[in-house]
A and B are shown apart, each in its own frame.
Chain A
Amino acid sequence: MIETVTKKYDSIDNTFCSYRVTYVNSNRVKSVPLDPANTDYQAIQEWIAEGNSVIDNPPE
């Protein structure tokens, strides 16, 4: 079960490059590409649609 989703930014060009996902009661972390065919990406979109919020700290 997803616990947090954080936007990851590429420090080379400051573009949004992937999601970092943590899970409840787990030290497993997923780095999820922005690909609609990826089922973790799909799960994040469903998680957002359920009203959950993505942590977003864009580089300044």
Chain B
Amino acid sequence: MALSKVDLANQVENQLPQNLVANNLPFRNIIINGDMSIAQRGTSANTLASSGYYTLDRFKFQAISAGVWTMSQDTNVPTGQGFAKSLKMDCTSTDAVSGNDLLIIRQYIEGQNLQYLKKGTANAQSLTASFWVKSNKTGTYILELYDVDNTRQISKSYTIDSADTWEKKTITIDGDTTGAFDNDNGGSLIVSFWLAAGSDYTSGTLSDTWSSPTTANRAVGQVNLADSTSNYINITGVQLEAGTTASDFEFLPVDVNLQRCQRYYQVLADGSQQTLSMIGLGFYYSAVLMIMAIQYYTEMRATPSLDNVSGTNYYRIFANGTNDYFDDFFLTSTNTTNKVCDLRNESDISGATGDIGFVRTENAASFVAFDAEL
């Protein structure tokens, strides 16, 4: 049989989903860990009432007097969409929320990752947010974008229509021709999922166009997810991308996703995974000062803090045939950058100057990590 001329372009157009052809830019998702697959700090944290990073990487729990919560990486996901994990917020103690009370799940984005949006110019790009959400509590919720560099914000409402049912939401946000994002490693954009808001944020008219913030206009209509211990919300598949249409969620290989998260937080040793976990080599600078040189897995956003669990004899150095136990580490600014650091102990150890040994965890609660989050 003779070969016929093949129209490759038409075959591609006809056989691939249109959105893969027209809108398949790699790394188009501004949100990191939007599929909720990475949870270096742990998969569940309970009795949460104050702000911080607790479980899923890059997603911050932000709260002011808005009940008590369990935040977890959950396996409940929308069927047939490719997701394996979701972020779950479960209310364990209620609050009526008033005044400046609030409850938000948010992610900060570096300004240098947002330059292509051309914010603050006549060519400012629109943005489209898409995500899956499920809650027992139906009603109006608020998604807010907040420009930290220029103190501007925009809020968009969406509705959870059916209780206990996964729903996909898509929200398009106009480009902002005022105020460029700083081209640096600071947090320029905050993407916030409001879950509860006191009257300070709800008493005005929703600010659904970019403007200078008026507090009363930021979360108008937001339901109070903190009003019952039966309340929960699951979120996954969070994507924020340039343009006016939502493409399919951009799944990344787990190693790529992890490495992107490690720019902001990375775990060096975790006793809960391996009680006698190797940390690295250390040496006695003097009889009472032990120093380790550490190179991070990946360059971090900024000079990180050392995040360390302290406890009696949680760590040890084995040198010259002897175990020497200690409680925790500290770092020094002069030897710490966003690429390397030194870890030290001088409060507990006692050895011979110049001796080298391996340092490891000694307790299931031992934990050493670096934190450069926004």
Contacts and interface: CB of A to CB of B under 8 A. Distances in A.
A35 B301 CA distance: 12
A28 B54 CA distance: 12
A38 B372 contact: yes
B185 A34 contact: no
B303 A33 contact: yes
A32 B331 CA distance: 8
A28 B309 contact: yes
Contact of B330 (A15, A31, A35): A31
Contacts of B336: 18, 33
B332 A17 contact: yes
Interface in A12-35: 12, 15, 17-18, 20, 27-35
B306 interface: yes
A57 to B, nearest CB: 13
Contacts of A41: 305
A28 B308 contact: yes
Interface in B303-331: 303-311, 328-331
Contacts of A15: 334
Contacts of A37: 185-186, 301-303
Contacts of B301: 37
A29 B365 CA distance: 13
A24 B334 CA distance: 28
Given A17-B333, A29-B310, A40 B305 contact: yes
B306 A1 contact: no
Contact of B305 (A8, A10, A27, A31): A31
A30 B334 contact: no
B305 A28 contact: no
A27 B306 contact: no
B374 interface: yes
A30 B305 contact: yes
A1 B50 CA distance: 7
B200 interface: no
Interface string B327-346: 01111111010000000001
Contacts of B50: 1
B144 interface: no
Interface in A31-57: 31-35, 37-41
* Best-surrounded residue of B185, B328, B333, B374 (most CB of chain A within 10 A): B333
A56 to B, nearest CB: 15
Nearest to A40: B305
Nearest to B47: A25
A13 to B, nearest CB: 8
Among the interface residues B185, B304, B328, B367, which one has the most CB atoms of the partner chain A within 10 A?
B304
A39 B374 contact: yes
B293 to A, nearest CB: 15
Given A37-B186, A40-B305, A30 B333 contact: no
Contacts of A20: 330
A12 B305 contact: no
Nearest to B372: A38
B328 A29 contact: yes
Contacts of A29: 308-310, 328
Contacts of B365: 27
Nearest to A44: B305
The 3 closest A-B pairs by CB, nearest first: A17-B332, A37-B302, A31-B306
28 contacts: A1-B50, A8-B330, A12-B285, A15-B334, A17-B331, A17-B332, A18-B330, A18-B331, A18-B332, A27-B309, A27-B310, A28-B307, A28-B310, A29-B309, A29-B310, A29-B328, A31-B305, A31-B330, A32-B306, A33-B303, A33-B305, A33-B336, A35-B302, A37-B185, A38-B304, A38-B372, A40-B305, A40-B371
Given A27-B365, A33-B303, 9 more contacts: A11-B289, A15-B334, A17-B333, A28-B308, A28-B309, A30-B305, A33-B305, A38-B305, A40-B305
